[in-house]
Chains A and B, each alone.
Chain A
């Protein structure tokens, strides 16, 4: 399995991760090596084995539908890099 620098850039774009050229070069080499190592999983016979996403089967954990205190808007906004009144502020999405 060999990754190209363009493959790495494509994944970085999916991950919304800006990378410098040196980072792309290093990751191309490192990820290729790691994916080669992962390829050994193909040797394990898993026909008829269900995927296990969670250590113990737990389904539909509900709490009672009752109101309870939650963070105030002020507390929730306290760590915002930029705010506008009671809103998070971001660069314009549409011109």
Chain B
């Protein structure tokens, strides 16, 4: 039962074949059996059973039920759930108890979802492997010697390992799509502003966006439909109606042009990844789509622009961790300044410190024009590249990550190498457009490979329909790891 999709489980629950209580029992059992090997979670909610019982009671009373009634959902630990721990993967927030729910959590509760627990992540969402968690390393369910990707690696691994059929993550430079690709699940980064960031622990505020993980595109559409929409508490969330994505998901696009950026295949792409991506393009061609080569001429500069913008915003956002209002405070100190600096020195891990330092430098007097402002100008050029490309195609297709999942510890000592692996995903964050990863193959060694699809702003409905076309013609999404 726990290997099924959320849509299948929803049918079983609606038919009365299974109760929410029995279902959460199965998932908690599978979660606990697999957790010692996968370690996707930082916190399992003991009250999940009570949530399920409440849904069953509501159903018995004949009350209207939400879209996700009784479906377990795992949540990245960057999202606040009131009354429970929310660490963002950091020692800084080890003892933090969230005083309120993130907006997306309020919406999940309204939809009668069952929140099963909080998932592991790179500290403050900074990383591409989940190895930067202050707590433990999460393993890739397809190969326990390898990373699940990151920063939302716990959420991706939890869905891949069938510990939960759905999960939420956040994506600042690929943190949903890259782990989805490495774990063989579907992951969606919505348009900037489509989903409220209220209650998401901030990394880089002009790039961060919350989005779904699922076994297939239909499930991802369902979860996105629940979490999308305007929230007055996030001034950047957009007041546009939310389409019923799951109602149109099975309608193929009658005339579809897929743009393939030539820069994505220029070099550094693993041969097996390229082969699977090209095979996915062939699937679209066989479905009647036109494949058109396009150019994103500024994409070679995206990593540099991204890491300047993201670290500058992070250095400002993380200034709030001062040992005064919440979070870690150093025990020994004589002055206020020393207390603040020592609390931060003790509370943050190496990657977070590196990024605070980079961002502070990029914003400092004498360097801001050369680094930060320059990066913002390049960002606009990158956005214009996308605007031009979408003038001649409906969506863009290409790889998510240059390689499949790498080994734990393999890239530990080379931060720049880790940054460069974000090359294909960061453009969507800089431009604010929606993008997703869908399973499109496996390496000979049995590691999943993802296809990235990118669409114009607020074209999630089209993006999901295009993704579903590939999914209906293939069976990659039906595979589950042996654990």
Contacts and interface: CB of A to CB of B under 8 A. Distances in A.
Q: State yes or no: do A and B come from one complex.
A: yes
A82 B206 CA distance: 33
A17 B348 contact: yes
A16 B379 contact: no
The 4 closest A-B pairs by CB, nearest first: A55-B432, A18-B345, A51-B376, A79-B326
Contacts, number: 161
B266 interface: no
Contact of A14 (B206, B324, B326, B364): B364
Interface in B197-218: 206
Interface string A6-47: 001001111111111001001100110111011011111010
Contact of A50 (B236, B329, B375, B377): B377
Given A44-B301, A78-B97, A79-B99, A16 B337 contact: yes
8 contacts: A15-B344, A18-B342, A37-B416, A38-B304, A46-B374, A58-B235, A91-B335, A91-B336
B375 A41 contact: yes
Nearest to A70: B100
Interface stretch (B221-229, B275-283, B285-293, B354-362): B354-362
A91 B330 CA distance: 12
A16 B326 contact: no
Given A17-B341, A38-B307, A80-B325, 14 more contacts: A11-B357, A16-B322, A16-B344, A19-B353, A31-B357, A34-B307, A34-B415, A35-B361, A37-B303, A50-B380, A51-B373, A55-B192, A58-B235, A91-B339
Given A30-B415, A34-B307, A79-B326, A15 B315 contact: yes
Interface of A: 8, 11-20, 23, 26-27, 30-31, 33-35, 37-38, 40-44, 46, 49-56, 58, 61, 63, 71, 75-76, 78-82, 88, 90-93
B187 interface: no
Contacts of A92: 336
B298 interface: yes
Name the prevailing secondary structure of the B interface residues: helix
A23 B348 CA distance: 12
Nearest to B192: A55
Interface residues of B, number: 72
A41 B304 contact: yes
A92 B335 CA distance: 7
B6 interface: no
Interface of B: 95-97, 99-100, 192-193, 206, 232, 235-236, 238, 298, 301, 303-305, 307-308, 315, 319, 322-329, 333-342, 344-346, 348, 350, 353-354, 356-358, 360-361, 364, 370-371, 373-381, 383, 415-416, 419, 430-433, 457
A12 B99 contact: no
A35 B206 CA distance: 22
B380 A93 contact: no
A81 B357 contact: no
A76 to B, nearest CB: 7
Contacts of A8: 357
A13 B364 CA distance: 12
B376 to A, nearest CB: 3
Contacts of B301: 40-41, 43-44
Given A17-B353, A38-B304, A58-B235, A90 B339 contact: yes
Nearest to B308: A38
A15 B357 contact: yes
A53 B376 contact: yes
Contacts of B371: 38, 41
A63 B374 CA distance: 33
A15 B361 CA distance: 9
A79 B96 contact: yes
